Structure 1
Amino acid sequence: MATIKDVAREAGVSIATVSRVINQSPQAGKASIASVQAAMKKLHYRPNANARALVSKNTNTIGVLVSDVSDPFFGSLLKGVDQVARQNNMHLLIGNGYHNPQTEREAIDILINSRSKSLIIHSKGLSDQELIDFATEVPGMVLINRFIPELADRCIAFDNYNAAYMATEYLIKHGHKEIAYINSDHKISDANDRKAGYLKALQDNHLSCSDDYTLDAHLSDTCGYTAMTELLAKNLPITAVLAYNDYMAAGALMALNEHNIAVPEKISLIGFDNGLIARYIHPQLTTINYPIKLMGIQATELSLKLAKNQKFESASNMFAPTLVQRLSVANKN
């Protein structure tokens, strides 16, 4: 394997000159750049990222922590982050946290130790104080899908409370009074806020808020199926169901189909996130649009500005929900 000394010898320049070319120093002349790049190509020399970081104090990477990279929701987030990264000739380092405090902590440590000056962090397991401490250490760290008052200017969040309120109110305005809710079993703010929004919409419209109509389940179509089956077993007069995400709604739809309960004629259904699956199941799913890609773009732009100690202008760091009306809700009025 070729070394920096081999490159210097092949190009006929000093090791310091090779280092300046590798680190894109303005002191490197055009002739030196051409000869060094030709030598690197001939020798198949690949600069060591950590060695470059010791000189530049930056690995030219953006560190990203998500819950689970296999989840399409986080794929959309990463798409937004990568879009901005490519515009700035940067690359991504990605860690999974799985909503587990220790796993999230270890992943953030690795991203920091990799000398990423910009971090986009989706953390649900760590405490506010621990995230505040990390943010103090890394000026370019931005939180996404979480709001901490002490870091308000570095949080890109979504209004989960009003999103669930909007979805529930939409069902109520379509004549539904017996509305069930399948929530996430993760003990996170998103789940708490969405359930609170659902209950408040019922309360404001003088409808029952019985616990019999709510179930907690894991975030998958399989668990949505199981939760819907449990709700049906209670033999409640349900006319509509709100699900925590589109995959759980798809599972609920399968359970309803197996019990010969037509959607939306007998039971209406609303999902959450507006993922691809919402457009391809039958009937197409009415859902809450969660602009996670746009949030990823804004979070990355903010992070890059913060890392350079520059100001970032935006109308708001709190994204608002919108309802996407499709074919899974019937009007009972």
Structure 2
Amino acid sequence: MATIKDVAKEAGVSVATVSRVINKSPKASAASIESVTSAMKKLGYRPNANARALVSQSTNTVGVLVSDVSDPFFGTMVKAVDKVAHQHGKHILVGNGYHDAEEERKAIELLINSRCDALVIHSKALSDEELIQYAEEVKGLVYINRDIPQLPGRCISLDNYKGAYIATEHLIRNGHTNIACVASSHNIEDVDQRLEGYRDALKANNIKLSASYIEYGSPDSDGGEIAMTNLLTKSLPITAVVAYNDNMAAGSLSVLEENQYALPNQMSIIGFDDGLIAKYLHPKLTTIRYPIQMMAEKAAQIALALSKSESVETDPMIYSPTLVQRASVGRKN
């Protein structure tokens, strides 16, 4: 394998000159650029990325941590960060945390050790204290879907409570009182916040339901199928369902259709996220919009600004969810 010394010898220049060409120094002459580039091509030499980073103090990369990149929600997040990164001439490195503390920790450590210029982190399993330590270590680090009071201006989150409250209230306004909840089994704050919003909306409208109206499953279509099946076996007088996300709503819809429920006449359902799937279900899914693309773009912009020691707003950034009405909610007569 060719070395930088081999390139210098082939080009008839010093190692320092090769280094200047590789790192695009303005001191490199046109003649040296041409001779070094020709030598590198002839010898098949590729500059070492880490060595270049040490010289330029930049790897031109943005690190991103998600739960699972195969989830369309996180795919949207990654694409949004990548869009901003490209606008700044950078690429992204992606890690999966799977809502597991050790996996999240290992992924964050890897991204930091890879000397990413900025980091956009979606962490739900690690404590505030540990995340604060990472933020103190890396100036260009921003957390998404997390609100840590000690890190104003470096956290972007959604009001999950409000979203679930709006969803439940929408069903109530359509005459529903026997409203079930298909919740995620993941032990994260989003689940607690959305359950609280669901319960408080019922309470505000003087609706009392037992805990039997809540079923849990993994936050995907399979989990939605299991939770919905469990609800139906209880023979409860359910007329509407609030789902943790659109994927769980999709699984629930599948089970309802298999059991010959007329939707939305016999059963109404509302999702959360407003992912791509919501538009293509039958009936099209009424849902709560989670502006993850907007939030991720903002997170990337702030992370890059912080990495360059530029000033940013220090106010908490908590986005509001909105209702998207389609065809999966019917009026209860």
State the TM-score, normalizing by the size of structure 1. 0.96
The amino acid of 2:204's aligned partner reads D
The CA deviation at 1:199 is 0.8
Change (3 A) 1:38 1:267: same
Q: How does 1:31-110 map to 2 (within 5 A)?
A: 31-110=31-110
How many angstroms apart in 2 are the aligned matches of 1:191 and 1:317? 20
How many angstroms apart in 2 are the aligned matches of 1:35 and 1:54? 24
User: 1:193 maps to what in 2?
Assistant: 193
How many angstroms apart in 1 are the aligned matches of 2:25 and 2:208? 68
State the SS of the aligned residue for 1:94.
strand
How many angstroms apart in 2 are the aligned matches of 1:212 and 1:127? 31
The CA deviation at 1:315 is 8.4
The answer as to whether partners of 1:241 and 1:268 remain within 8 angstroms in 2 is yes
The answer as to whether partners of 2:153 and 2:315 remain within 8 angstroms in 1 is no
How many angstroms apart in 2 are the aligned matches of 1:12 and 1:296? 48
- Find runs of 4+ consecutive structure 1 residues off by over 6 angstroms: none
How many angstroms apart in 2 are the aligned matches of 1:185 and 1:20? 55
The CA deviation at 1:314 is 9.0
Q: Does 1:321 align with 2:321?
A: yes
State the TM-score, normalizing by the size of structure 2. 0.96
The CA deviation at 1:287 is 0.8
User: 2:272 maps to what in 1?
Assistant: 272
Aligned CA-pair RMSD: 1.6
Instruction: Indicate the larger mover: 38-47 or 283-292.
Output: 38-47
Q: How does 1:282-321 map to 2 (within 5 A)?
A: 282-313=282-313, 317-321=317-321
The answer as to whether partners of 2:154 and 2:314 remain within 8 angstroms in 1 is no
Q: How does 1:1-333 map to 2 (within 5 A)?
A: 1-313=1-313, 317-332=317-332
The CA deviation at 1:322 is 1.2
How many angstroms apart in 2 are the aligned matches of 1:134 and 1:314? 18
How many angstroms apart in 1 are the aligned matches of 2:112 and 2:85? 17
State the SS of the aligned residue for 2:99.
coil
The amino acid of 1:293's aligned partner reads Q
Render the CA deviation track for 1:220-261: whole Å, top value 9, x for unaligned. Answer: 111111110110111111110011111111110011011111
The answer as to whether partners of 1:76 and 1:293 remain within 8 angstroms in 2 is yes
The answer as to whether partners of 1:180 and 1:240 remain within 8 angstroms in 2 is yes
The amino acid of 1:229's aligned partner reads T
How many angstroms apart in 2 are the aligned matches of 1:210 and 1:204? 16
How many angstroms apart in 2 are the aligned matches of 1:209 and 1:18? 74
State the SS of the aligned residue for 1:150.
coil
The CA deviation at 1:184 is 0.8
How many angstroms apart in 2 are the aligned matches of 1:11 and 1:254? 67
The CA deviation at 1:316 is 6.5
State the SS of the aligned residue for 1:197.
helix
State the SS of the aligned residue for 1:272.
coil
The amino acid of 2:235's aligned partner reads N
The answer as to whether partners of 1:159 and 1:319 remain within 8 angstroms in 2 is yes
> How many pairs align?
333
The amino acid of 1:204's aligned partner reads A
How many angstroms apart in 2 are the aligned matches of 1:34 and 1:206? 79
The CA deviation at 1:79 is 0.4
The answer as to whether partners of 2:272 and 2:289 remain within 8 angstroms in 1 is yes
